[in-house]
Chains A and B, each alone.
Chain A
């Protein structure tokens, strides 16, 4: 399990997990899960285009995810954000289907771009992954305070001079970079699980932003490591384990916060209080 061949897998997956934990925290906080799904999927189309004109897949991933991020931010300014994201993802996938129809790619390669090929990461690929990962984390910490401010209280932040549109562009570009780095390793569909589930689980354990971010990184690392180990032992695809462990940790987080809420209220009133009627807002 820890042979030379596997070391690249462990290394690259760990880098992806750390970055996904940090970036994912903000994705969950800002409620931009749709963008986190759309950019990797659209970037997949970029990889198909890159193979068509014969350049490195990572170039296609980078170009498409950055263009996608800018288009979502641009359209989202005038329309509902989810509509803009939906239109961008279908446009990019439409281009992807055009590229695929022109290329004579083997289906297994497409499967590996969608569902990842962590065991196939070579040493030469490890360098760009590490470099982009460091850039992502550095970018997040550079704009940490304004980004947090703008995510939690967008109106107040805007009044204090932290432009909502500007922060959105910066943040989506970070997501685009994360995508570029992660798609070759864990695949377009599964980077999404890694971005959402650990961060969502972490938020139900703590309300402090920095603690939640650290916890999210730890959960992401735990998810990836156990997924690789289980996949190695059982010979089933890694994606399955990443997806189900992710959903499992979220369920544990939800259970924990429900139990804690219940206990706190029963301590206060001396008995288990029925949950207040749910307020409908939408």
Chain B
């Protein structure tokens, strides 16, 4: 490592196994979230995207009661929840909010039950906190193949229906006129969203899952209007924020107050939020300039 980097990067950063896993998994999740998230923001389904992360908690804790891997609990619960949301009416803007809300409320109730059963069965109350704030550093390396498979499936669904998905996201009426089966595309997209979110929620926690899904995509859509370019930029922002976050969390091991290190999610979320605010400033500058020029033309 070049000497000038050593004040920035604590020694042993790249040779540490949990850090390597975190960098790989964080990168994969950031790319998938960037691609899927671009459509989530375009379709105005951020609430569904966030809720699925929380809803999965019910599946994860149920899997714990049954003694199977939480990842499968997450995936099963989220696919079911996506189905119910679709059935209640996530397509209409008015019904969307309610569909997500009702499913989320019911799932949280179930999560309360299963977590309670978990606690009475094995006296581990940490499950809630683990799921909500999950740590990227405690990830076992054996999970990596599963994560890779589900990521490829989620990104694959989006790429296969790329063009119809853009059209239905921008204007459902136009898509119907073109003979696209809007409902089918919507269901396919929800499946991709459910897969992507369960993946990221179970590996890096619900907070980071939402942050990586919405933040980079919203920033990218500020910068460009072209969907493909936005997805690439979103994936890039996501990767940079995640890797910087992991680096900072690693560096923070000896920081105030008790030398336990600061959480990765805090750093990643803050970075993403700052980038989003910066993109807003840029946008504001543009529109102000445009307004000035139109005013000059009018005058």
Interface of A toward B, CB cutoff 8 Å: 28, 31-34, 36-37, 78-80, 82-83, 85-87, 89-91, 93-98, 100-102, 107-108, 110-111, 114-115, 189-190, 192-193, 196-197, 200, 236-244, 246-247, 250, 254, 278, 280-282
Contacts and interface: CB of A to CB of B under 8 A. Distances in A.
B163 interface: no
Given A36-B101, A101-B266, 11 more contacts: A34-B46, A86-B210, A87-B215, A87-B272, A90-B273, A94-B207, A97-B207, A192-B105, A196-B102, A239-B113, A243-B106
The secondary-structure label for the interface of chain A is helix
B69 interface: no
B182 interface: yes
B56 to A, nearest CB: 14
The 10 A-B pairs at the shortest CB distance, nearest first, are namely A243-B109, A239-B112, A94-B269, A193-B105, A247-B106, A33-B101, A240-B113, A107-B125, A82-B46, A34-B47
B47 A82 contact: yes
Contact of A94 (B41, B129, B172, B270): B270
A83 B213 CA distance: 10
B109 A190 contact: yes
Nearest to B116: A237
B263 A79 contact: no
Given A90-B210, A93-B207, A107-B125, A83 B46 contact: yes
A34 B88 CA distance: 17
Interface of B: 41, 43-47, 49-51, 54, 88, 91-94, 96-98, 100-102, 104-113, 115-116, 119, 125-126, 128-129, 132-133, 172-173, 176, 182-183, 206-208, 210-211, 213-215, 218, 222, 257-258, 260-263, 265-266, 268-270, 272-273, 276, 280, 283-284
The secondary-structure label for the interface of chain B is helix
A97 B208 CA distance: 11
Nearest to B258: A102
A243 B55 CA distance: 12
Given A100-B133, A101-B263, A111 B94 contact: no
A79 B221 CA distance: 11
B50 to A, nearest CB: 6
B47 to A, nearest CB: 4
21 contacts: A33-B47, A33-B97, A34-B50, A82-B46, A86-B215, A87-B273, A90-B214, A91-B273, A93-B269, A94-B270, A97-B266, A100-B129, A111-B128, A189-B108, A193-B106, A196-B101, A197-B105, A239-B108, A243-B110, A280-B182, A282-B43
A242 B101 contact: no
Nearest to B100: A33
B128 A110 contact: yes
A242 B214 contact: no
A149 to B, nearest CB: 18
A110 B107 CA distance: 19
A16 B253 CA distance: 42
A41 to B, nearest CB: 9
A237 B104 contact: no
Contact of B109 (A83, A87, A101, A247): A247
A240 B116 contact: yes
Max chain A C-beta neighbours (<10 A), residue from B116, B119, B126 = B116
A111 B118 CA distance: 12
A197 B210 contact: no
Contacts of B266: 94-95, 97-98, 101
B110 A31 contact: no
A182 to B, nearest CB: 14
Given A97-B266, A100-B129, A80 B105 contact: no
Contacts of A236: 113, 116
Nearest to A110: B129
A240 B210 contact: no
B299 to A, nearest CB: 26
A240 B116 CA distance: 10
A97 B265 contact: yes
A260 B217 CA distance: 43
A115 B261 CA distance: 28
Contacts of A280: 91, 172-173, 176, 182-183
A6 B93 CA distance: 42
B47 A86 contact: yes
Max chain B C-beta neighbours (<10 A), residue from A94, A244, A246, A254 = A94
A196 B105 contact: yes
B114 to A, nearest CB: 9
Contacts of A192: 101, 104-105, 108
Nearest to B211: A90
Nearest to B276: A87
A101 B262 contact: yes
Max chain A C-beta neighbours (<10 A), residue from B46, B49, B111 = B46
A91 B269 contact: yes
A139 to B, nearest CB: 22
Max chain A C-beta neighbours (<10 A), residue from B45, B96, B97, B101 = B101
